[in-house]
Chains A and B, each alone.
Chain A
Amino acid sequence: MQSFLDIFDIYLLEAVINGILLGGVLALLALGLNLIFGVIDVTWICYAELVMIGMYGMYYLVQVFHLPYWAAAPLVILLVALLGAALHFLVIAPLLTAPPINQLLATGGVLFILQSFATVAFGIDFRNLGIRLPVLALGEMNFSYARLLSFGAALLGMIGVYLFLTRTFTGTAIRAIAQDRQIMPLMGVDPKRIYLVTSAIGGGLAGLAACLLVLQYDVHPFVGLSFGPITFLICVLGGLGNFIGGFIAAFVFAEIISLGGLFSDLEWGYVLAFAFFIVMMFIRPAGLLARRS
């Protein structure tokens, strides 16, 4: 019995730490989506599909054009940032005054477009980078370097965005427009430019997430569906547009998935997370950190 408990605790600790590592990447994804929502007041349903395109970009640059990983990553971040700006320019900008539901559904159309574009262009095979990172053994626990690296890079990315938002003029303008979009044009800030910059940053974050996720997961046209929904739920749980709430919610979700997966199948971890989300919506409809009025 004693030995059983020992093993059990080790597994539990490993699951908890893996949950934290997963939470880092989820928090990065949620940050990009939250930024877009907070500033432009639009939900990009196709956000995970941008990540998917970025993962394909990594695959082609590394496997087909034989670029080293470190050279490919900035290119992919740039590519997805451009994609994000294009998405805003082509789809969101004409709909800025339309009801929010229409904007959301239009990006749903973009989701179809990106998914089927990947199916048509790349086929439905599962592909991976072929990079195998070693596993770190810590006592009796095992952690993959890919996860540690993702966690570190995700944290760095988030700190970078934080510094950008607080220390630069453009960042300050972005935060200001998120607070009051009517007044800022009067203060000499061009909202169109700010929206475009924000979309590019949101896309860039998706690109960074793509570079990290491609280390751990195979890429295929429907890979977005496996982490897209969870990203939206994290953002809503944290309160749409609330960066800190999204950050906390990402770790809560990651722990539920990781621990739920420890006791049963991984799917039940997801079921638990979804159910938790629905329950939380009723307890705190405006997000984890919101005070109930």
Chain B
Amino acid sequence: MNRQAAFWIIALIALVALPFVHRDPYHLHVLVLILIWSFAYTSWSIMGRFGLVSLGHGGFMGIGAYVTALLWNHLGVSPWIGIPLGMATAGVLALIVAYPCFRFRITGHYFVLVTLALSGIVLQVITATRDYTGGSLGYTPQRAPSGKGLFALQFDDKTTWYLIALAVWVLGLVIWRAIDRSMIRHAMEAISEDEDAAAAAGVNVTAEKLKITLISALMTALAGALYCQYQMFISPDTVSGIAVSLQMVFAAIVGGVYVALGPTVGAVITIVLAEVLRISFGTKAVGWDNLVYGLLLVLFIIFLPKGILGSVIDRIKSPRKPSRGHEQQTVPIARR
């Protein structure tokens, strides 16, 4: 156990030290994007791993991004206050939609489609209020006067952004771990197996589901706000809507929903793939990255539903599989 803790500390130190050793701005930019999206995908997986598949997370992300930017541009509210407000808005919306869903036992297909309607609403509201939000043309937070960068949470320096994104990403993993070790996890696992049995065993099904949904929505809104502050440009297509929701589901599943670092692996794969295609093929690559994503998604769901990292860890942890009988006699690798 101590060896594992040591490994984590060394890895973290290496990650923090990275921008001071390797200063290539492009690489740092890609890393920041990977970290922010990893955090978003982790947020989705926190509820997705328990079978609560939501296509509404594009909506939460859009709310986080747009509320923060709108407050800053129209009212001059600092993102330090705007981001919590954006998160709170997303949280309230999540509760409004989720409570009746869970109360009336809307699960499976129906839950997916209700949340799909949610991200549809957010997308259409952003487009419809184009006088304030810029509609589908996108929206840019106003540049802060020099010297007020910290107040406006705007930094030109990539290293600062890298450290912020890293901190938030670590926060996401810490939350994951806390949930993993808490009672919520056991309750949610019971619920995802059989709601009635869980309720009979004394689990407050609605409350537990609401808790996990709220955590997930708050985190997703934070990811949206950070993305907005970093990119300084948001449009309904990049931070909200069904396409973004599906992108989250896709990356999380490719990486693996059931392990903490799975969504991160998914983000690394998707973003690196998109960047490689963009650099090697230029504008001709438009569409190719999604073609590859789509194919991978279908293949993964059919052949490797636990994702890349999940399957690899399974192999390491228990090389014995019932299908390969002759290996049953070999000595299993010691578990951690």
**Chain A residues in the interface with B (C-beta under 8 A):** 37, 43, 91, 94-95, 98-102, 104-106, 108-120, 124, 221, 225, 228-229, 232-233, 235-236, 240, 265, 267-268, 270-271, 274-275, 277-278, 281-282, 285
Q: Decide: A278 and B249 in contact? CB cutoff 8 A.
A: no
Stretch of B14-22, B172-180, B293-301 at the chain-chain interface: B293-301
Measured CA separation A232–B117 after assembly (Å)? 9
Cβ of B170 within 8 Å of any chain A Cβ, yes or no, is: no
Given contacts A120-B287, A233-B113, contact A100 B242 (CB under 8 A): no
Measured CA separation A144–B307 after assembly (Å)? 50
SS class, residues of chain A in contact with chain B: helix
Cβ of B112 within 8 Å of any chain A Cβ, yes or no, is: yes
Within 8 A of A (CB), among B265-322: 286-291, 293-298, 301-302, 305
Given contacts A271-B121, A281-B114, contact A112 B100 (CB under 8 A): no
Q: Decide: B114 and A278 in contact? CB cutoff 8 A.
A: yes
A148 to chain B, nearest CB (A): 28
Q: Decide: A109 and B298 in contact? CB cutoff 8 A.
A: yes
Residues on A with beta carbons closer than 8 Å to the beta carbon of B242: 225, 228-229
Q: Decide: B246 and A232 in contact? CB cutoff 8 A.
A: no
Residues on A with beta carbons closer than 8 Å to the beta carbon of B298: 91, 106, 109-110, 113
Q: Decide: A117 and B295 in contact? CB cutoff 8 A.
A: no
Q: Decide: B112 and A119 in contact? CB cutoff 8 A.
A: no
B172 to chain A, nearest CB (A): 22
Measured CA separation A229–B128 after assembly (Å)? 17
What are 23 of the A-B contact pairs (CB < 8 Å)? A101-B53, A101-B108, A105-B249, A106-B302, A108-B250, A109-B296, A109-B298, A109-B301, A110-B294, A112-B297, A115-B294, A116-B287, A116-B288, A116-B294, A119-B286, A120-B287, A232-B113, A240-B109, A275-B121, A277-B114, A281-B101, A281-B114, A282-B100
Measured CA separation A41–B142 after assembly (Å)? 49
B200 to chain A, nearest CB (A): 19
Measured CA separation A116–B246 after assembly (Å)? 14
B277 to chain A, nearest CB (A): 11
Residues on A with beta carbons closer than 8 Å to the beta carbon of B128: 265, 267-268, 271
Measured CA separation A228–B250 after assembly (Å)? 19
Q: Which of A112, A228, A236, A274 has the most chain B CB atoms closer than 10 A to its own CB?
A: A112
Query: How many B residues are at the interface, by size bracket?
Result: 35 or more
**Closest B-chain residue to A108, C-beta based?**
B246
Further contacts, 19 of them, CB under 8 A, given A106-B298, A267-B128: A101-B108, A104-B112, A105-B301, A108-B250, A108-B297, A109-B301, A111-B246, A112-B250, A112-B297, A113-B291, A116-B289, A116-B290, A233-B117, A235-B113, A236-B109, A271-B121, A274-B117, A275-B121, A281-B104
Contact of A106 among B241, B288, B293, B297 (CB under 8 A): B297
Q: Decide: A100 and B108 in contact? CB cutoff 8 A.
A: yes
B282 to chain A, nearest CB (A): 14
Residues on B with beta carbons closer than 8 Å to the beta carbon of A275: 121
Residues on A with beta carbons closer than 8 Å to the beta carbon of B297: 105-106, 108-109, 112
Residues on B with beta carbons closer than 8 Å to the beta carbon of A105: 53, 249-250, 253, 297, 301
A218 to chain B, nearest CB (A): 16
Contact of B294 among A113, A225, A271 (CB under 8 A): A113
Residues on B with beta carbons closer than 8 Å to the beta carbon of A95: 301-302
A47 to chain B, nearest CB (A): 12
Measured CA separation A276–B182 after assembly (Å)? 37
Q: Decide: B293 and A100 in contact? CB cutoff 8 A.
A: no
B130 to chain A, nearest CB (A): 8
Q: Decide: A91 and B302 in contact? CB cutoff 8 A.
A: yes
Cβ of B23 within 8 Å of any chain A Cβ, yes or no, is: no
Residues on A with beta carbons closer than 8 Å to the beta carbon of B106: 281, 285
Cβ of B84 within 8 Å of any chain A Cβ, yes or no, is: no
Cβ of B134 within 8 Å of any chain A Cβ, yes or no, is: no
Q: Decide: A120 and B301 in contact? CB cutoff 8 A.
A: no
Q: Decide: B108 and A229 in contact? CB cutoff 8 A.
A: no
**Closest B-chain residue to A287, C-beta based?**
B110
Contact of B286 among A91, A113, A124, A282 (CB under 8 A): A124
Contact of A119 among B100, B104, B290 (CB under 8 A): B290
Q: Decide: A281 and B250 in contact? CB cutoff 8 A.
A: no
Residues on A with beta carbons closer than 8 Å to the beta carbon of B253: 105
Q: Decide: A111 and B301 in contact? CB cutoff 8 A.
A: no
Cβ of B138 within 8 Å of any chain A Cβ, yes or no, is: no
Residues on A with beta carbons closer than 8 Å to the beta carbon of B112: 43, 101, 104
Cβ of B243 within 8 Å of any chain A Cβ, yes or no, is: yes
Residues on B with beta carbons closer than 8 Å to the beta carbon of A228: 242
Cβ of B127 within 8 Å of any chain A Cβ, yes or no, is: yes
Q: Decide: B124 and A270 in contact? CB cutoff 8 A.
A: yes
